[in-house]
Amino acid sequence: MAQAPDAEPEPFRRKLSLGIDVSGPVMHLLQPETLSQSVSLDLELQPNLMAAFEAGMAHFRVDNPSTQYTVSGQFFRIGANYNLLQENPKLRDDQIFALLRYSFGMNTHQAPVISVENPYWGPISHSFDKLQYGAHWAEVGLGLRTRLFHHFFVGWNIRVSFMLARTGDLQVKPYYFSGFGRNTGNTKFGFQYFLYYRLPTK
């Protein structure tokens, strides 16, 4: 009895997805002084390999009787995702992926009021006008993405960021870098939760 011929594999079609990070607004509820918002775009260049681009903005603010300090900035990330589930065609719409990013951010900060209590001279006030600064860093991480329904997906990722360089006017030490976080070290761990929409392809 003749065997039925094997089904031909589906032709490769590039997939383009748009995403929005919803973890930033949620963290704003827990840390009201910080607000970060970002969007993403990824394009599957070849099976399981996706080019990725992210852009966002962040604000940090301290406002109390002794200190008024604000940071505003934008950040960008470019890199790739690699799907680790490539050996299971039944899960081609789900992904567990490794990610790699080169990132940079541009910021301004200013402090109309900084008051420091001195035990001998009493309160001493400082201030500085708007200064510009920036940073470059790299990110590696792991993520997961799964279909909710139709062309809508949900996913999360964890990342480790490694500071490469701080640039600009650093005469006053910045407290916060948009896209990277507080200026307390050269390594940061982060978590993001995304909602995605995949553009339909024929």
Residue 163: its pLDDT value, please?
97
54-67 per-position pLDDT tens digit: 999 999 998 887 77
Say if residues 101 and 77 touch (Cβ distance below 8 Å).
Answer: yes
Residue 126: its pLDDT value, please?
75
Q: Which two tokens stand for residue 183?
A: 């200026």
Tell me how far apart the alpha carbons of residues 98 and 70 are, in angstroms, rounded to a whole number: 34
74-116 per-position pLDDT tens digit: 999 999 999 998 766 666 678 899 999 999 999 999 888 777 6
Full residue range of the structural domain in which residue 177 is found? 16-198
Residue 59: its pLDDT value, please?
95
1-12 per-position pLDDT tens digit: 455 555 566 677
Residue 181 lies in a domain: yes
Q: What is the three-class DSSP state of 172?
A: coil
Residue 66: its pLDDT value, please?
78
Residue 4 lies in a domain: no
Specify the number of domains making up the chain.
1
CATH of the domain at 89: 2.40.160
